[in-house]
Amino acid sequence: MFLIRLVSSPQRLLILSLYFSLPFLTQAQRVDLPEDFTNLAAEMAVDFMAPLDAGYKDVRTYPNPHQNYEFAIRSRKEKLEIRYHLEPEEEGKPMTRIPHVRCMQMIANVASNEEDTRVSALSLPDSIRIDQLNADWAKVFFFTPKKTFSTRYTCQMLAMYKEGRGMVFAYFLFNKPPMELDSRLLTVRFEDLVSEDDL
């Protein structure tokens, strides 16, 4: 109350407005991680960092005939949905240790089979370095997804690999690319583990 008495009426209204809107803003940005995704992320030492802007919320995941995923978030403001799929490295599954081959399998699963569909393989954007992802290997792919995977026109797929941990796939689904698309690549990365030799 003391603070409000010291300011003018317009400022008082602004402070009150911000004070009462904070719980709603916090709730709008809340992202709840499902248990299966949390367990895989802990096993692979993967960090997820939810965007703090654009009103991202977690959305329900559904079984998919072509490719399942453990977690997804969506922003109405950016008109962007991001799905995440984690694959731990397994000794009995050699493809989990050959990232470029595993990516081709993944693209065959989720990319459209239409004759005029093209797949573009690109390096990371100039604004992002591979060490920011703590990955040994990373690539970005653009293609039209199967309609049974998503009704969006375009999928940008981030694929990255870390030896001894496995592969992370993030599917960015949109009709028109949002301005912040490149920065959303940093919502997931491998943890930077410190070995005993570094201590």
**This prediction's pTM:** 0.82
CB within 8 Å of 143: residues ≥ 6 apart: 107, 110, 111, 112, 117, 118, 119, 120, 154, 155, 157
Q: What would the pLDDT profile of 7-26 be if each residue is shown by its tens digit? A: 344 444 443 343 333 343 33
SS (H, E, C) the chain: CHHHHCCCHHHHHHHHHHHHHHHHHHHHCCCCCCHHHHHHHHHHCEEECCCCCCCCEECCCCCCCCCCCCEEEEECCCCEEEEEEEEECECCEHHHHCHHHHHHHHHHHHECCCCCCCCEEECCCCCCCHHHHCCCEEEEEEECECCCCCCCCEEEEEEEEECCCEEEEEEEEECCCCCCCHHHHHHEEECCCCCHHHC
Name all domains of the chain by residue range, CATH numbers in brackets: 31-193 (3.40.1000)
pLDDT for the residue numbered 194: 63
pLDDT tens-place string over residues 128-143 = 999 999 999 999 999 9
**Is the model more confident about 70 or about 95?**
70
